[in-house]
Amino acid sequence: MTRFTRIAGLGHYLPPRVVTNHDLEQLMDTSDAWIQERSGIRERHFAADDVGCTDLAVEAARAALADAGWKPEDVQFVIFATLSPDLYFPGNGVLLQHKLGLGEVGAMDIRNQCTGFVYGFAMADGVIRMGTCDRVLVIGSELQSPALRLTTEGRDTAVLFGDGAGAACLEVCDGSASRVLGHRMHSNGKYALELTIQRPGAANRPWISNEMIEDGSCGIHMNGREVFRHAITKFPAVILEVLADHGVKPADLALVVPHQANERITEAVRKRLDLPDERVYSNIGRYGNTTAASIPIALSEAVTEGKVKRGDLVCLASFGSGFTWAASLLRY
């Protein structure tokens, strides 16, 4: 049998605390109107102080395992995408392996920010297709609220990001009904500093200092206009590439699940692909940008809402820090 990969189950989890734009108005000089007009975001979820990134991931992973009908011992490999790990090292993959009570299986982290889930999805597909494993758990989870500067100085990024987690159980199949078709991945590190947290970093001496904390270099720095300019061209380009690889036209897609960065970026992608609103998924209004978690949360919701059915063609696509951009095409 030629080996292919299918999604066996999906799950997602948002921490219960909802923070609205009006809540942020109390903390900084911003407005609900500015945030909605620029990004489409109305509210986001922030985790409680005693919750870590892997705690969110555990909830999403348990939901995905239940959806797939897997037990923890069925998982043979873990791929964890995040930019907000619990520890500098080791990575979240091993922490999740332990918290979920998995066997002593391989576990790794992917540090690709907004494209982390798509890159992880592609790696899992490779691991399954080459016969190394039959069942892989891929997670995107982010706990971004602790790094946000919830003040007027930090408002350019603080209003955009949120916490959450999504997970997918991928398993080997014969490809006759469902299967992952392929992937395209790109990067251009020339733009690495346009969206970054630069400190602490091992290229710097000293590794960390009080000055770094005070001058804001331990916080998120984003050149929003540069990110926007690249996103609206690279996003549709990588989608069209992966579609062309498989002779698929945009109109053949049941759903595009884009990384939820910004409603205006999603709208630009939709227009470029000439698709109606209902075929490009959007939940940014409720969750903000949850980075590596946004695609698995959106895909999990879309399936729950009946917007994706078995056999449908679906494209996952993302653009973000690095810059990196990537897309995966699958028959769900």
Residues 109 and 50 sit within 8 Å (Cβ to Cβ): no
CA dihedral 203, 205, 207, 213 (to 10 degrees): -110
Collapse the DSSP code of 153 into the 3-class scheme (helix H, G, I; strand E, B; otherwise coil) and give the result: helix
- Answer yes or no: 259 catalytic: yes
* 227 or 295: CB nearest ligand COA: 227
Tell me the residue nearest to ligand COA as measured from the CB: 224
Indicate the DSSP class of residue 328: E
- Given the residues 12, 45, 230, 259, the one annotated as active site: 259
What minimum distance in Å lies between the beta carbon of 34 and ligand COA? Answer: 4
Would you tell me which residues interact with ligand COA (CB under 6 A)?
30, 34, 38-39, 114, 155-156, 159, 222, 224-225, 227-228, 261-262, 265, 289, 320
What minimum distance in Å lies between the beta carbon of 12 and ligand COA? Answer: 19
Element (H, E) at 182: strand 179-187
SS3 letters for 27-82?
Answer: CCCCCHHHHHHHHCCCEEECCCCCCCHHHHHHHHHHHHHHHHCCCHHHCCEEEEEC
- Answer yes or no: 114 catalytic: yes
- Answer yes or no: 173 catalytic: no
What minimum distance in Å lies between the beta carbon of 228 and ligand COA? Answer: 4
What minimum distance in Å lies between the beta carbon of 171 and ligand COA? Answer: 29
* 6 or 286: CB nearest ligand COA: 286
In the sheet that holds 255-258, the strands lie side by side as 179-187, 324-331, 313-320, 255-258
- Given the residues 114, 169, 173, 315, the one annotated as active site: 114
Residues 62 and 56 sit within 8 Å (Cβ to Cβ): no
Q: Which residues are catalytic?
A: 114, 259, 289
